[in-house]
């Protein structure tokens, strides 16, 4: 199949990846209501087509925290990307740099901060509040030393959501023996992945927390350590601890409620990501796009507002910009592309989304992404 859309990259990834890793990317929590809402609510928004306007010159670029982005789109943090393609986070970082958009590295990445930064462009770095403050401080110091320009502080994960697909696929809940046998069988039945990742993509550890984990060396052992270290006691006051180490921009990821957005302003954050963790945490909450307008109104331009969740095309990006987002971030879209074929596929996917965004701008009469507003939307629908 020659991929033409994010749905095509998804299908290619489904064919190539062992089921446990595809389902980990693709699935959401519980009955996946919010996962579906993220996509459906974006699809339900109608753009307002306009004609007879000079669209010779288009400007898709946007400035964020001193970084010029070629388009208002970045790569969200995705856990364990190094299990979808050989040293996957480094491939994603190179793809993002080639296209001119930011890449955000997950705490639970296979490749370490240092390995990804060695590609030549330091990533944004995503961090959770961990019980082990000493190790958290060390991670912040490592990110700072590597030159990471932005800290994305994810706050919607005081504990992991229950994801039924991961149990069904054998990714979680299995004994050590049955888990090993399941992984081996899935690897054997997916030889291309086995050669690329299992044989040539080692080590299969989570590079950013490797030194903290002593009880086993499987990926699931590292994930278990992370799960045990999520801190349910975290409050906005804990940002003071982060500020002791980190003096760059802080973006709070996982905000859906306007009151939480106001708290982020009061806490001194420079940005927020309107997000429900891709429908992977509390199922049944509203979609990111439906939460976006109220959050934008609540912060009143006092910080940058980004959005992720359900973005599958450049048209979706324009819809989010029209409702007040500065830029969008995509997670599953680039994870599918990585699983489908690595860096070249991510670059191709980003090129497709850029083309879709350009077309949508021309046909709505919007010559610059900076001028996108609600007038681009057909409110009659």
Q: CA neighbours within 13 Å on the CB side: how many for 80? A: 19
The two structure tokens encoding residue 112: 């370490």
pLDDT at residue 88 in the model: 98
> Does the structure show a pLDDT above 80 at 380?
no
Residue 170 lies in a domain: yes
Determine the length of the chain: 381
Does 381 fall in a domain?
no
Which of 276, 349, 279 shows the shortest CA–CA distance to 314? Answer: 349
| Beta-carbon contacts of residue 112 (< 8 Å; ≥ 6 apart) | 207, 208, 210
Q: Which of 65-79, 129-143, 210-224, 304-318 has the lowest mean pLDDT?
A: 210-224
Greater model confidence, 262 or 186? 262
What is the predicted pLDDT for the residue at 209? Answer: 84
Spatial contact of 273 and 308, defined as CB atoms under 8 Å apart? yes
**Residue, of 123 and 186, whose pLDDT is higher:** 123
The predicted pLDDT at position 182 comes to 80
Please name the residues in contact with 346: beta carbons below 8 A apart, sequence gap of 6 or more. Answer: 75, 91, 92, 95, 96, 334, 337, 338
Q: Which two tokens stand for residue 310?
A: 């359900």
Do 299 and 43 touch, CB atoms closer than 8 A?
no
Q: What is the predicted pLDDT for the residue at 192?
A: 94
Question: Please, what's the largest Cα pairwise distance for the chain?
Answer: 66
For residue 213, pLDDT over 80 is answered with: no
**pLDDT computed for residue 306 by the predictor:** 98
Q: Give percent of the chain above pLDDT 70.
A: 95
92 has pLDDT over 90: yes
> How confident is the model at residue 220, as a pLDDT?
64
254 lies in some domain: yes
Answer yes or no: is 149 within a domain. yes
Active-site residue (options: 10, 16, 165, 277): 277
277 as an active site residue: the answer is yes
- 8 Å CB contact between 77 and 126: yes
pLDDT in tens, 51-65: 999 999 999 999 999
Whether 1 maps to a domain, the answer reads: no
In a domain, 155, yes or no: yes
For residues 317 and 42, what is the distance between their CA atoms, to the nearest angstrom?
A: 9
Q: Please, what is the average pLDDT of the chain?
A: 93
**Domain assignment of residue 245, given as a range:** 6-376
Number of domain units in the chain: 1
Q: Looking at residues 175-199, what average pLDDT do you find?
A: 84
Phi, psi of 251 (to 5 degrees): -115, 125
Query: CA distances (Å), 296 to each of 11, 112, 161, 249, 320, in order?
Result: 35, 34, 27, 19, 11
What confidence tier does 219 reach under pLDDT thresholds 50, 70, 90? low
In a domain, residue 49? The reply is yes
> If you search the block for the tokens 């910009």, which residue do you land on?
321
Report the pLDDT value the prediction gives residue 135, as an integer from 0 to 100. 87
**What band does 211 get if pLDDT is binned at 50, 70 and 90?**
confident
220-261 per-position pLDDT tens digit: 666 677 777 788 888 999 899 999 999 999 999 999 999 999
Pairing between β-strand 250-255 and β-strand 304-308 as defined by DSSP bridges:
unpaired
| CATH code assigned at 164 | 3.20.20.70
């Amino acid at each position: 199949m020659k991929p033409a859309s994010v749905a095509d990259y998804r299908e290619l990834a489904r064919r190539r990846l062992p089921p446990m890793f595809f389902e980990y990317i693709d699935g959401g929590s519980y009955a996946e209501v919010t996962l579906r809402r993220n996509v459906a609510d974006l699809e339900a928004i109608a753009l307002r087509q306009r004609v007879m306007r000079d669209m010779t010159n288009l400007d898709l670029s946007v400035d964020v925290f001193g970084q010029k982005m070629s388009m208002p789109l970045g790569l969200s943090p995705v856990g364990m990307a190094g299990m979808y393609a050989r040293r996957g986070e480094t491939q994603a970082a190179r793809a993002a740099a080639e296209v001119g958009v930011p890449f955000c590295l997950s705490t639970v990445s296979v490749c370490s901060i240092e390995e990804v930064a060695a590609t030549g462009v330091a990533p944004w770095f995503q961090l959770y509040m961990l019980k082990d403050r000493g190790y958290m401080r060390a991670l912040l110091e490592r990110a700072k030393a590597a030159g990471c320009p932005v800290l994305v502080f994810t706050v919607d994960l005081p504990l992991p959501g229950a994801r039924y697909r991961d149990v069904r696929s054998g990714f979680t809940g299995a004994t050590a023996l049955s888990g090993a046998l399941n992984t081996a069988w899935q690897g054997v039945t997916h030889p291309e992945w086995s050669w690329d990742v299992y044989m040539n993509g080692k080590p299969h550890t989570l590079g950013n927390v490797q030194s903290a984990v002593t009880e086993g060396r499987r990926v699931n052992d590292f994930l278990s350590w992370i799960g045990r270290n999520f801190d349910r006691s975290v409050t906005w006051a804990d940002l003071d601890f982060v500020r002791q180490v980190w003096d760059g921009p802080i973006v709070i990821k996982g905000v859906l409620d306007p009151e939480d957005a106001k708290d982020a302003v009061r806490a001194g954050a420079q940005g927020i990501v309107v997000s429900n963790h891709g429908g992977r945490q509390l199922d049944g909450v509203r979609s990111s796009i439906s939460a976006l307008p109220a959050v934008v109104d609540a912060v009143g331009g006092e910080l940058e507002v980004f959005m992720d969740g359900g973005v599958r095309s450049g048209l979706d990006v324009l819809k989010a910009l029209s409702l007040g987002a500065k830029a969008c971030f995509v997670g599953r879209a680039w994870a599918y592309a990585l699983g489908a074929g690595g860096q070249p596929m991510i670059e191709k996917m980003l090129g497709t989304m850029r083309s879709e965004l350009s077309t949508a701008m021309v046909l709505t009469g919007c010559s610059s992404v900076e001028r996108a507003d609600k007038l681009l939307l057909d409110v009659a629908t």
